[in-house]
Chain A
Amino acid sequence: MRYAMAIDTKKCVGCSDCVVACQTENNVPIGYCRDWVVEVTDGTYPQLEIEIRSERCNHCDNSPCVRCCPTGASHYEEGGVVLVTPHKCIGCGACIASCPYDARYSHPDGYVDKCTFCIHRIRKGEQPACVAVCPTKCMYFGDLDDPNSAVSKVLKKRKFKTLIPEAGTQPHVYYLI
């Protein structure tokens, strides 16, 4: 089993609903977030292009954050989901510095926090909150080992990329382009 997410940049309108839904689902304190939206504009008027991406932890196979964690708080869960165990975290911030995607933040309660792929929802057979809420249905989530999962199917059909592949982290959030 290998959980992954695919996000369609052709459909995303950058509304940030994924951000709000994540905050209210996961009690993320105001002023912090586990996911965010990036907009890249290319060209000069009127020859323009925009790419809009909802970004979050890439739940990498080769996660620098897990590797550098001195206490084992950052670890892999089922399906390759990278998690932080708050009571084991000493808040040293090494993982924040090591993550090429800026995916982690220091929670005011003293531990490091990040996207969990909403593992509490996945375990109940639900979609992550961001995927479930997206008005454009531009996000696909599922098990890459299951050829019939939404994410496997869409990755077979469409061209995609990952972010900062040169970091060698083997990320599992894919962007359909």
Chain B
Amino acid sequence: MSNSRREFIKISTLGTAGVALGAKYLYSEVIGDAPLRFPASEGSLRTPTYCEVCFWQCAGWVYKNDSGEIQKITGNDDDPHCNGRFCPRGTGGVGMYHDEDRLKTPLIRTSERGKDTFREATWDEAFDYIAEKLKKIAAEQGPECVALFTHGSGGAHFGHLLKAFGSATISAPSFAQCRGPREVAFITTFGDIIYSPERTDIRDTRCLVLIGSHLGENMHNGQVQEMSDAIDKGATIITVDPRYSTAASKSKYWLPIKPATDIALLLAWINVLIENEWYDKEYVEKYTTGFEQLKAHVQPFTPEWAYGITTIDPNVIRETAREMRNASPAVIVHPGRHVTWYGDDTQRLRGVAILNALLGSWGRRGGFYNPEKMKLPDYPVPPFPKPNRMPQDAYQGKYRLANEVVSNGLCDATIPSVERECNIRAWIVNGTNLMAALPDQQKTIDAINALDLLVVVDTMPVEITGYADVVLPECTYLERYDMIRQSPHREPNIALRMPAARPKYNSKPAWWMAKQLAGKLGLEAWFPWNDLEEVLDWQLKQIGSSLDEMKRMGVKKFPRSYDDLYFAPGEEVTFNTNSGKIELYASDLEAEGFAPMPVYTPHEEPPEGFYRLNYGRAPVHTFSRTANNPNLTDLMDENTLWVNPKVAKLWGLKTGQYVKLKNQDGKVSTFAIKVRVTERIRWDSVYMVHGFGHNNPRLSRAHGRGVNDTELVTRVHVDPVMGGTGMRGNFVTFVTDEPTDGKEAGS
């Protein structure tokens, strides 16, 4: 391989920092007896937790040093999410606790929204303020007009409060801004969702197909571990990505696809499997319906047809299809996780689901297993009042196949309009920075400006807190109890989170806030306990455990109820679809007026001088949540803009140079981003890691570092099937200090 273009970068800037800073301190005062730094004391008490740095929620142990400060967190060996190994973010979770920029005390806004001017308040004042507004809204328009947006464990407690209050308007951006399309596509095909952690049996797969899914850069711990196991066992990895991702570099086949053309490739793969009779005939005959329609549908979509669209060599399309067939049924065409790209995402994921069905991988070892969850009974409380309006009413008959609440649908329903009998008037936001999570920031701001009340519950002063009327400082996961983790996996299991330290500052756990607010709202009946320990102990005792036992074990596994991890050979299986079969031809979609089988539609291409804005994850950060974490910013404190060398030459861009970006609608990024010229990206797109470019100066390490991709996503392609916000149809150009016209600079 040619060495002509060689990049040499240290991913962790620390490598160089160690040297550079070392020199700085080299001539500092020489100390005769330097104090020894003792490693974390292993003898000290360890407390169990499960991680809150991302949604994977790995269970681990928190250790303190001799002075009682939290020093390190390691994985719990019995936890199937992490198998004793935390990821860098989980290991760096200590930084969340130590971060001196944390929210420290309740705040009440004193001036205009978005100006971030607050006065400190007591908890009692803050709760009174909130309760008064909530009561007024309930009296005037009904409790359903209070919405909860959550992406954290605190959501369980505020969700409980909202249900007691009479509202089911509860939403997580993890659906319509992330994995929603795959869940809907797999429900319409297999009658079941993918779950989290994903039910992908990567450990035992012989062929793993990743479509835009950059495992390894997204540190979904268990999956990355299993991918590594699969590499050890010689599994074939096929990666489809316009960018040479880390996963692509581990793959036998990298298909550098032209962005936004994935459906064409999927249709061609389906065509090849059917034309060559490479599908699992017995499985398809026994379990599926609609095969003849599918066969007729894909007949024109040959690899040669797809070549002109995707730029992928037809022979490679055939060869990779053959690899899948050879591995079948131990093959996974991975559904991905963040899949809201172009607005036809449910249809693309239908293509993925159909491929898996043809290969017979659903319900088979090395394909998709059947997860089981240990369900704890709920602590007894009176039945919740029945809401008069359901959250789905907010989006007026649209997105009827969405199996979860569509957050952007609620955002839309907050902006008053004549067609709506009522709009949402209060938001409680917990553990999600909506300014970075929801695309089209202006719409979010318009919605917020229409609100009577915005309460933000978070540990950090992220941007959304700047718009809040009341900010409630939540203590970190290392300082609180939360509900028992009950996650679906190969073995049913539960995990405990308990405080390793007292909450710093005047921060409090969400369960406490919810209970206090319930008191102010006259909803005590739904909180008939003194503290969460009482609830957890009661729940655990119903399944033969106890809080004491869980404090010792952290994680407890249970036997499966049935031996049904995979389908037994020849087993009769009824799927939870209209036909009871795997639906290659989706009756649900047809009934709602959508294409019953996926169709390729061309998407808009970048105008001249513009490049498609692609974004993704870094292994050391979670969304915008960790951007100020002292341990993790130490590894990566800004995002960079990946630019192909051809493009860089055209614009005269050099690695290390800072540029602002302007999108197709004239929106210019608030801050500048450091250019990284690299062969790893196509010439028609640029790439950055999501979650940077914070504009709240209270985040001392994150403020002004890098560019926030969300602010450049002003054009949103909404998936008509389930309301997902397609965010990859935005194009940017470079704004340099000395403006150069890209076309001329190259000549």
Q: Which residues of B contact A166 (CB under 8 A)?
A: none
Q: Is B14 a contact of A19 with CB atoms below 8 Å? A: yes
- Nearest-neighbour CB distance to chain B for A51, whole angstroms, equals 9
* Nearest A-chain residue to B632, judged by Cβ: A20
Selected interface stretch from B184-192, B215-223, B328-336, B437-445: B215-223
Whether B421 sits at the interface, judged by CB under 8 Å, is no
Q: Is A110 a contact of B30 with CB atoms below 8 Å? A: yes
Whether A146 sits at the interface, judged by CB under 8 Å, is no
- Nearest-neighbour CB distance to chain A for B639, whole angstroms, equals 15
Q: Which residues of B contact A39 (CB under 8 A)?
A: 7, 9-11
Q: Is A24 a contact of B71 with CB atoms below 8 Å? A: yes
In the complex the two chains form, what is the Cα distance from A134 to B228 in whole Å? Answer: 11
* Nearest B-chain residue to A19, judged by Cβ: B12
Residue interface mask A116-130, B partner, CB < 8 A = 1:
001011001000000
Whether B6 sits at the interface, judged by CB under 8 Å, is yes
Q: Is B86 a contact of A16 with CB atoms below 8 Å? A: no
Q: How many chain B residues have a CB neighbour from A under 8 Å? A: 85
- Nearest-neighbour CB distance to chain A for B705, whole angstroms, equals 16
Which residues of B (236-269) have their CB < 8 Å from a CB of A? Answer: 244, 246-250, 254, 256
- Nearest-neighbour CB distance to chain A for B548, whole angstroms, equals 27
Selected interface stretch from A60-68, A74-82, A100-108: A100-108
Whether A2 sits at the interface, judged by CB under 8 Å, is no
Whether B35 sits at the interface, judged by CB under 8 Å, is yes
Q: Is A110 a contact of B88 with CB atoms below 8 Å? A: no
A42: which of B6, B29, B92, B682 is its contact (CB, 8 Å)?
B6
Q: Is B619 a contact of A109 with CB atoms below 8 Å? A: no
Selected interface stretch from B37-45, B117-125, B169-177: B37-45
Whether A26 sits at the interface, judged by CB under 8 Å, is yes
B86: which of A27, A55, A108, A133 is its contact (CB, 8 Å)?
A133
Whether B276 sits at the interface, judged by CB under 8 Å, is no
* Nearest A-chain residue to B221, judged by Cβ: A135
A89: which of B8, B14, B34, B632 is its contact (CB, 8 Å)?
B34
In the complex the two chains form, what is the Cα distance from A40 to B473 in whole Å? Answer: 43
In the complex the two chains form, what is the Cα distance from A41 to B25 in whole Å? Answer: 32
Selected interface stretch from B72-80, B365-373, B489-497: B72-80
Q: Is A105 a contact of B18 with CB atoms below 8 Å? A: yes
Whether B446 sits at the interface, judged by CB under 8 Å, is no
Q: Is A38 a contact of B11 with CB atoms below 8 Å? A: yes
- Nearest-neighbour CB distance to chain A for B655, whole angstroms, equals 12
Q: Is B88 a contact of A17 with CB atoms below 8 Å? A: yes
In the complex the two chains form, what is the Cα distance from A45 to B249 in whole Å? Answer: 12
In the complex the two chains form, what is the Cα distance from A105 to B28 in whole Å? Answer: 13
- Nearest-neighbour CB distance to chain B for A62, whole angstroms, equals 22
Q: Is A26 a contact of B37 with CB atoms below 8 Å? A: yes
* Nearest B-chain residue to A118, judged by Cβ: B39
Q: Which residues of B contact A110 (CB under 8 A)?
A: 25, 28-31, 34
Which residues of B (1-17) have their CB < 8 Å from a CB of A? Answer: 1-12, 14-15, 17
Q: Which residues of A contact B325 (CB under 8 A)?
A: none
Given A42-B2, A49-B1: A25 and B34 interface contact (C-beta under 8 Å): no
Whether B544 sits at the interface, judged by CB under 8 Å, is no
Q: Which residues of A contact B15 (CB under 8 A)?
A: 33, 36-38, 55, 102
Q: Is A43 a contact of B5 with CB atoms below 8 Å? A: yes
Q: Is B17 a contact of A32 with CB atoms below 8 Å? A: yes
In the complex the two chains form, what is the Cα distance from A46 to B310 in whole Å? Answer: 14
Q: Is B22 a contact of A106 with CB atoms below 8 Å? A: yes
Given A27-B71, A110-B34, A133-B74: A93 and B631 interface contact (C-beta under 8 Å): no
* Nearest A-chain residue to B255, judged by Cβ: A46
Q: Which residues of B contact A40 (CB under 8 A)?
A: 6-8
Most buried by B among A45, A102, A136: A45
Whether B288 sits at the interface, judged by CB under 8 Å, is no
In the complex the two chains form, what is the Cα distance from A55 to B42 in whole Å? Answer: 26
Q: Is B631 a contact of A24 with CB atoms below 8 Å? A: yes
Residue interface mask B115-133, A partner, CB < 8 A = 1:
0000000000000000000
Which residues of B (599-637) have their CB < 8 Å from a CB of A? Answer: 619-620, 630-632, 634-635
Q: Is A96 a contact of B228 with CB atoms below 8 Å? A: no
Q: Is A52 a contact of B246 with CB atoms below 8 Å? A: yes
Whether B588 sits at the interface, judged by CB under 8 Å, is no
Q: Which residues of B contact A107 (CB under 8 A)?
A: 25, 34, 37
- Nearest-neighbour CB distance to chain B for A165, whole angstroms, equals 18
Query: Can you give 11 A-B contacts (C-beta < 8 A)?
Result: A15-B216, A17-B619, A19-B88, A27-B40, A37-B11, A42-B2, A43-B1, A46-B244, A135-B85, A135-B86, A135-B225
Question: Can you list the 9 inter-chain pairs with the closest CB atoms, starting with the nearest?
Answer: A36-B15, A13-B216, A15-B619, A110-B31, A136-B228, A33-B14, A105-B22, A24-B72, A105-B18
Given A11-B232, A137-B225, 17 other A-B contacts at CB below 8 A? A13-B216, A13-B250, A16-B635, A21-B91, A24-B73, A26-B37, A30-B630, A31-B21, A31-B634, A32-B17, A38-B15, A40-B8, A41-B680, A91-B28, A109-B34, A132-B85, A135-B85
